[in-house]
Amino acid sequence: MRPYILQEVNWAKVKESRYDIAVLPWGATEPHNYHLPYGTDTMETSRIVEEAACKAWERGCKVMVLPAIPFGVQNPGQLELPFCLPVRPSTQRTLLKDLLEALYGQGIRKVVIANGHGGNEFKSIIRELQMDSRDLFLGLMEWFRLFPNADYFEEEGDHAGEMETSIMLYYFPELVLPLGKAGSGKAKKFSIDALNRKKAWTPRNWTNVTEDTGIGNPEKATAEKGKKFLDAVISEMADFLIDLGKHDIADLYEK
């Protein structure tokens, strides 16, 4: 039993313990090219958070990792893919609001969302929910944005490419098909230049963008690359949790 993992801990332990921070991993359920499982976002995020919480706990941070949410917001075109299971942003907001109300009533005043899916946009939701509870710290950490991919990987891509495949090869190699069976992850660009240059934005229609559901070539992925990247990510996340645990939420700014 790990006392910082809610799905494993029991009431006997919780009753005698004090917890300061709740961390909520949030993923998605969707295809990840041919070679990675549907649960990639949720599985990798859960493991990352668990390892970061372990490091933080060992250094005195009283953190609890909540069960991961496996349903995320999807782009148009993904909805046509079998067993891609989306939720609306409004549903995401409602679920988060319900969980926050329960935690708040139980005395938890620091909550961190650990997002592992690019389609989940929490900032506007956090701003709205923060209005209801001014004495609640509600933060967001997105592990896949902590470091530039180019620092660790050779290929670009944001879905089932070299980065995610390397992580899954390290954490769950038994669930990764041989890379020879993976698609190339080649993505079509928009026909409007401003959208490609990110001067304007619209959701990508997945079935028009990619044939194999991947965006990014996984060919050069290795477990060793995944470990190196994860070591940096987990260290950064653990340090944040430790710092957050030490601070009063009314004293987050320099004097």
Residue 166 lies in a domain: yes
Q: How many CB atoms lie within 10 A of CB 48?
A: 22
Q: Please classify residue 253 by burial: count the beta carbons closer than 10 Å to its beta carbon, then call 0-12 exposed, 13-18 middle and 19+ buried.
A: exposed
What residues form DSSP beta bridges with 141? 114
Residue 252 lies in a domain: no
pLDDT of residue 132: 83
Structure tokens at 141: 């950490």
Residue 117 lies in a domain: yes
Which one, of 171, 163, 137, lies nearest residue 215 by Cα? 163
77-134: pLDDT as tens digits: 788 899 999 999 999 999 999 999 999 999 999 999 999 999 999 999 999 998 888 8
**No. of H helices and E strands in the chain?**
8, 6
Length of the chain as a residue count: 255
75 vs 178: CA distance, rounded Å: 27
Task: With residue 58 as reference, give the H or E element that holds it.
Answer: helix 40-58
Kind of pairing, strands 110-115 and 21-26? parallel
**Domain containing residue 47: CATH number:** 3.40.50.10310
Q: Which domain does 51 fall in, by range?
A: 11-246
224 vs 239: CA distance, rounded Å: 23
Residue 255 lies in a domain: no
4 vs 97: CA distance, rounded Å: 22
The DSSP code sequence of 138-164 is EEEEEGGGSS-GGGT-SS-EEESSHHH
pLDDT of residue 254: 84
**Domain tally, the chain:** 1
* Residues lower than pLDDT 70 in the chain: none
Residue 2 lies in a domain: no
128 vs 180: CA distance, rounded Å: 46
Residue 4 lies in a domain: no
Residue 112 lies in a domain: yes
Q: Please classify residue 10 by burial: count the beta carbons closer than 10 Å to its beta carbon, then call 0-12 exposed, 13-18 middle and 19+ buried.
A: exposed
pLDDT of residue 37: 98
Structure tokens at 217: 């070539």
